[in-house]
């Protein structure tokens, strides 16, 4: 077993790997949902230390990767307007829209600002009453409380010049969509720890039961991931399908209740399109009608935005766990982190970028 010395608790990790090797009798496909976990798996060579029978496939848990191209084009349209200050987290600025990215629009003179917290965007709105201040609200359940608080605060203060461009997606409906697809290969899930910090893990119970898949709420440290895999393999080998919580030190069954309350007050569940995957019913958040004046989709007249995805990009198939990045003909050739064709190459949480960074250019034995 190579790399093992680099783990924080090499002895414990070694024991867990040995146990996984000892109990694995059949081939299993396990999906980690979160892009941060994908990154950590590649960096620490976790996939290479597993038995050949166990294949890890990489899920859609990278917010940058699944934000539809139309949403990026909308952001670019809004940001280019002279009366707008467009705010975003840094990782959205390099994501290519149909023809440009936010950095280019900024260099052309648009007022695009990177903020650390959504409350910073609210502050900019407070200080610039003559401008329309828009925040690009991208992300999973983890960022939803922050965006909910920004809207609530703007609403309370009567800051009618503040709005958010919402592109919020939810993890459990996507997990279910993948499981119900006829091509599904996933037999067990590692659920994303930080999403569960907010939402808890009750929602996963019916999914595990209906599709008979074990789901393990898993943290981000290499040790967490190895333990998550061990718990999942145990269940697969025994034929059970419970929800287990590997990340109990951070995740409570009910999640963070004050955060969930405000999310419910501000957002409603709605259909959302996922880049590369398509529309999934009830898989995202939109602002409730009461907060329409803070909804950039309603505040700005955006017309119909039509987009064309680069035809060679197979990121949608990769995000469903059906193929690996190195199976894309463009991977590492036409498509690199410097010149990304698809969003999974842009973000360091994206599977293509992780494979590129850690030189995974060939198939492993379990994929052959």
Residue 19's binding partner out of ligand SF4, other proteins, none, with CB under 5 to 8 Å set by partner kind: none
Helix residue ranges, H only, 108-215: 118-127, 144-157, 171-180, 193-199, 204-211
Residue 89 as a binder of other proteins (CB under 8 A): the answer is yes
Q: Judged by CB under 8 A, does residue 228 bind other proteins?
A: no
Q: Of the candidates 23, 29, 104, 119, which one interacts with other proteins according to CB under 8 A?
A: 119
Instruction: Report the alpha-carbon angle 212-218-223, nearest 5.
Output: 130
**Which partner from the list other proteins, ligand SF4, none does 344 bind, CB cut-off 5 to 8 Å by kind?**
ligand SF4
- For residue 135, what are the β-bridge partners? 87, 164
Q: How far apart are CA 87 and CA 137, in angstroms?
A: 9
Alpha-carbon separation of residue 175 from 119, 131, 283, 354 (angstroms): 31, 40, 10, 21
**Which pairs with CB-CB distance under 8 Å and at least 24 residues apart come from 289-298?**
291/151, 291/155, 291/266, 293/160, 293/163, 294/151, 294/154, 294/155, 294/162, 294/163, 294/164, 295/163, 295/164, 295/166, 296/74, 296/78, 296/134, 296/163, 296/164, 296/165, 296/166, 297/74, 297/165, 297/166
Task: Say whether 231 sits in a helix, a strand or coil.
Answer: helix
Q: Which of 27, 90, 129, 206 binds other proteins (CB under 8 A)?
A: 90
Q: Under rule CB under 6 A, how many of the chain's residues touch ligand SF4?
A: 15
Nearer to ligand SF4, 65 or 151 (CB): 65
- Of residues 47 and 55, the one with the C-beta less far from other proteins: 47
Binding string to ligand SF4 for residues 278 to 317, with x set by CB under 6 A, is what?
Answer: ----------------------------------xxxx--
Q: Of other proteins, ligand SF4, none, which one sits near residue 256, judging by CB under 5 to 8 A according to partner kind?
A: other proteins
Closest CA to 344 of 326, 365, 363, 368: 326
CA dist 10 and 269 (Å) reads 43
- 335 makes contact, choosing from other proteins, ligand SF4, none, with CB < 5 to 8 Å by partner type, with ligand SF4
23 binds, among other proteins, ligand SF4, none (CB under 5 to 8 A by kind): none
First CA to last CA distance, the chain:
21
- Regarding 249 and contact with other proteins (CB under 8 A), the answer is yes
Q: Interface with other proteins includes 155 (CB under 8 A)?
A: no
**Does the footprint of ligand SF4 cover residue 354 (CB under 6 A)?**
no
Supply the DSSP symbol for 335. B
Under the criterion CB under 8 A, does residue 143 sit at the interface with other proteins?
yes
Q: Enumerate binding residues for ligand SF4 (CB under 6 A).
A: 312-315, 318, 325, 328, 330-331, 335, 341-342, 344-345, 352
Interaction site with other proteins (CB under 8 A): 8, 34-36, 39-40, 43, 61, 63-64, 89-91, 94, 114, 116-120, 126, 138-140, 142-143, 145-146, 149, 153, 156-157, 192, 194-195, 197-198, 220-221, 249-250, 256, 258-259, 262, 347-349, 357
């Amino acid at each position: 077993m190579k790399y093992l010395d680099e783990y924080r608790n090499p002895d414990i990790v070694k024991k867990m790997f040995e146990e996984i090797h000892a109990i694995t009798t059949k081939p299993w496909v396990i999906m980690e949902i979160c892009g941060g976990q994908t990154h950590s798996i590649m960096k620490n060579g976790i996939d290479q230390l597993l038995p050949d029978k166990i294949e890890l496939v990489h899920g859609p848990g990278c917010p940058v990767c699944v934000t539809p191209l139309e949403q990026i084009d909308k952001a670019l349209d809004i940001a280019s307007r002279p009366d707008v200050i467009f705010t975003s987290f840094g990782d959205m600025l390099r994501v290519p829209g149909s023809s440009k990215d936010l950095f280019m629009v900024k260099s052309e003179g648009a007022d695009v600002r990177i903020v650390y917290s959504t409350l910073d965007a609210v502050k900019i709105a407070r200080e610039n009453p003559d401008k329309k201040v828009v925040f690009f609200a991208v992300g999973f359940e983890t960022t939803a409380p922050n965006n909910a608080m920004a809207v609530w605060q703007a609403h309370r203060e009567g800051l009618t010049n503040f709005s958010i461009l919402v592109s919020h997606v939810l993890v459990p409906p996507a997990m279910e969509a993948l499981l119900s697809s006829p091509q599904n290969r996933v037999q067990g899930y590692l659920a994303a720890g930080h999403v569960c910090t907010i939402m808890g893990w009750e929602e996963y119970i019916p999914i595990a039961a209906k599709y008979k898949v074990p789901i393990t709420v898993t943290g981000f440290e290499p040790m967490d991931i190895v333990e998550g895999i061990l718990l999942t393999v145990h269940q697969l080998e025994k034929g059970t399908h419970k929800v287990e919580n590997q990340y109990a030190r951070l995740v409570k069954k009910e999640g963070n209740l004050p955060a969930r309350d405000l999310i419910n007050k501000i957002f409603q569940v709605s259909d959302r399109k996922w880049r590369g995957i398509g529309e999934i019913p009830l898989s995202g958040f939109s602002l409730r009608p009461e907060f329409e004046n803070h909804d950039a989709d309603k505040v700005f007249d955006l017309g119909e935005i039509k987009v064309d995805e680069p035809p060679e990009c197979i990121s949608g198939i990769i995000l469903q766990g059906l193929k690996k990045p190195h199976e894309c003909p463009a991977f590492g050739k036409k498509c690199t982190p410097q010149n990304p064709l698809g969003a999974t190459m842009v973000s360091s949480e994206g599977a293509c970028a992780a494979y590129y960074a850690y030189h995974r250019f060939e198939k492993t034995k379990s994929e052959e």
